[in-house]
Amino acid sequence: MSIQNRNEAASFTKPFAHVHTLLTAHGFDEVAGKENSFYELPIRSEGESKGYPFRVYTRAAENNQLVVDLSEARFAAEGEVPAEVSAKADKLLATLREKLQGEPYKNESTPIDEAQNGRMSNNEEEVKQLGKVMTDYPTNKEVKESGMVPDPIQ
């Protein structure tokens, strides 16, 4: 599936939480607007520090749903994008399409009598997801160096 030719791309309507979790787990940052938003991820070529901002656009639907049309996904920068970067975007879009087509989102919480309270997560999948999310957070040292005060010890 080429960025220029995405006949297979489709539009998906899913719960906000599902779309947001999926895109942020793949490294996208949300840029919210009043009605519509987009998720952006800088895709880098090997050995380059500059990233090419790649955007996936969403729009609000009824009942806290989001519409994601992968055929609208594109690079924000003007000009040529290296073939390697374009190939990475193609692979990413294929992965997103597969996950959006997959099993319906389940927003079910663990029953209280089954929850393992006092733990960060209830299973290995949640631990992996938390690890991905936490890699983006600054350390206490980085927070202090930026002149801010870190959260107190819990």
Total structural domains within the chain? 1
| More confident call, 81 vs 6 | 81
pTM metric for this prediction: 0.61
Structural domain includes residue 71: yes
Q: pLDDT (tens digit, 9 = 90+) per residue, 125-152?
A: 877 877 777 777 778 788 788 887 877 6
**Crossing angle for the helix pair 83-101 and 16-25, nearest 10 degrees?**
150
Ranges 9-13, 88-92, 94-98: which has the least confidence = 9-13
Angle at 79 between CA 74 and CA 81, to 5 degrees: 60
* Range scoring the smallest mean pLDDT among 4-8, 13-17, 97-101, 115-119: 4-8
Within a domain: 28: yes
pLDDT of residue 45: 85
| Residue 78's CATH number | 3.30.310
Given a cut of 90, whether residue 153 has pLDDT beyond it is no
- CA separation, residue 32 to residues 22, 38, 84, 122, 144 (Å): 16, 7, 29, 31, 28
Show Cβ contacts of residue 17 under 8 Å, excluding neighbours closer than 6 positions.
Answer: 64, 105, 107
Query: For 32-55, what is each residue's pLDDT tens digit?
Result: 877 788 999 999 888 877 889 999
- By the 8 A CB rule, do 40 and 29 touch? yes
The range of the structural domain enclosing residue 72 comes to 11-106
